[in-house]
Amino acid sequence: MRALRSLRAATYLLATGVTGLLTLLTTLLLFAAGGVLAVLVVGIPLLAALALIGVPVGGAERRFQRLVDVRPLRNGHRVPPRPGLSSWLRTRYTEAATWRALAYATLLMTVLWPIDLLAVVLGVTVPAALLVTPVQFATLGDAVQVNVLKTYQVTSWGQAVLAGLAGVVALVACAFGIGLLARLRAVLARAILTLPEDRLKERVVELARSRVRLVDAFEAERSRIERDLHDGAQQRLVALSMMLGLARLDAPAGPLADQLSRAHDEAGRALVELRDLIRGIHPPLLTDFGLEAAVTDLATRCAVRVDVGFAVAARFSRTVESTAYFVVSEALANLAKHSGADRGEITGGYAGGTLTVEVSDNGRGGAELNTGTGLIGLADRVSVVGGRLSLSSPAGGPTRLIVEIPCQTIPVSA
């Protein structure tokens, strides 16, 4: 793998070096032809074309970058508004990407291409010349002239072996040096060819992806904790409760039976609290049966009567289902504690690639996102998965909380 990376780095430097040399020759040719023909007016377009020489050079660099960088180098050139050469030229001469490409082409054909080619030539010839020295000495005999920069002459087997070992060291060092130079060259080219707004967009995209990864990791950890509690501590508490119940039945009447009875009741209460805790971390019902069943269960356990018109048979990613579930859970908690309502309703469905959930009540209204009821955190969480949370709660009611999450369904395993 390391050898492949070094080979790709050498290929990148060789390609950019040759491109720089060809760019220099083309520029000199256009400049000479344009200067000679300028008196006939024909040469003026040739001189004007020099400003566009960076366009193909930048395109070549974007392709070469794939050898050393998995991140694509975005094409910053705008699409001409109309077909035709005049529209294309007008667009190219008036955009920043063209002049950035010209700056890179100028740097490439004046400074960078000799460095690129020299690094590849030295990185290949020096280790190769040293490595073949023992073979040359064995084949040709004494006084073999090994032409490594014309400074080294082998006259004994000791020197030949030493040269071979030096070739191994030089090979490793040159491979590392070529790889480092290629990475630095790629960074320099990216910095010149990438527009500032493109870098900002890349940063925004990366931040959005990192937020999604964090949420996915958070949900995975919640699921793991829920499984550990459900399969471990809960089962032990169930077994303990059964053992205490059996011991209470077998114990004679007296203080011991009373203590066993109290212990059995405490174990039962602890089991109920643990189940509530598990449900709050990540409800098993959501994992096993999906969002519709979990939302219906939330409505059933709410202190206020809640009608359910939410019908979604499809399954979604764990993050989407968890986000929608906890939005409904928080909305129902606020409904029961703060709204003064005696009735609520959950509606929604999945259509057009968007999951919609609406929670409404007939309470007093006046709810706001910034009143500390947990809705701000829910709005942030919904935004992480690319969704939107909206709240309508005029004074006097009714209150409507709507969540829209763009998502795709996933196949349900049999």
Q: Burial, 20: exposed, middle or buried (Cβ in 10 Å; 0-12, 13-18, 19+)?
A: buried
Measured distance between the N- and C-terminal CA atoms of the chain, rounded to whole angstroms: 40
Q: Burial, 308: exposed, middle or buried (Cβ in 10 Å; 0-12, 13-18, 19+)?
A: middle
pTM of the complete model:
0.49
Contact 369, 377 (CB under 8 A): no
Check whether 316 has a pLDDT greater than 80. yes
Residues with Cβ within 8 Å of residue 26, at least 6 apart in sequence: 53
The 10s digit of each residue's pLDDT in 181-191 is 989 998 999 88
Which of 381, 398, 310, 395 shows the shortest CA–CA distance to 349?
Answer: 310
Read off the amino acid at residue 321: E
Give me the chain's average pLDDT, please: 79
Q: Name the strands in the sheet holding 343-351, side by side, starting at the edge strand that comes first in the sequence.
A: 305-310, 343-351, 354-361, 399-406, 388-392
The 10s digit of each residue's pLDDT in 109-157 is 999 999 999 999 988 888 888 887 777 777 765 555 555 556 666 666 7
Compute the distance between CA of residue 144 and CA of residue 390 in angstroms, rounded to an integer: 84
- Range with the poorest average pLDDT among 39-43, 164-168, 311-315, 352-356: 39-43
